Amino acid sequence: MYYVFLVVTAAVAVGVYLLVIFRNVPGAVEERLGVLEPLPPDLGVWKADEGSAEALAARAEGLQREQRMFLDQGKLLRQTRYRHTTSGEIVRADKDEVVRRRRIKT
């Protein structure tokens, strides 16, 4: 039982140490975990989706599918909307998808 107590205490101590170091030492997170991949160059620009299965299904309904990447409070989102091909009116929009950015080791 004593050894379990020592292992739990050591794990808590390591966790507190890492928390303090990662929060207070500039560059510690980037050095240990890597940096986030860069944002897409066309951030916030709506682009027509031509080749996906969803775009082909929308075209059959007389709609054009458009997507953009959008940065909202530090989260990268993929937004999708559907426009009527003749009037240009936005008919509907899909739920925003969170896009996870990978970390790149330097």
What's the pLDDT score for residue 32? 78
> What percent of the chain is helix, strand and coil (3-state, nearest 5)?
35, 30, 35
**Percentage of the chain surpassing pLDDT 90?**
50
* Other residues' Cβ atoms within 10 Å of the Cβ of residue 64: 18
Paired strand residues for 87: none
Interval 18-60: pLDDT, tens: 889 888 888 877 777 778 888 889 998 999 988 889 999 999 9
What's the pLDDT score for residue 28? 78
User: The whole model's pTM is what?
Assistant: 0.68
What's the pLDDT score for residue 106? 67
What's the pLDDT score for residue 69? 93
Instruction: Decide if pLDDT at 65 tops 90.
Output: yes
Degrees to nearest 5, angle at CA 17 with 15 and 19: 70
Q: Tell me if 44 sits within 8 A of 68, measured CB to CB.
A: yes
Residue type, 15: G
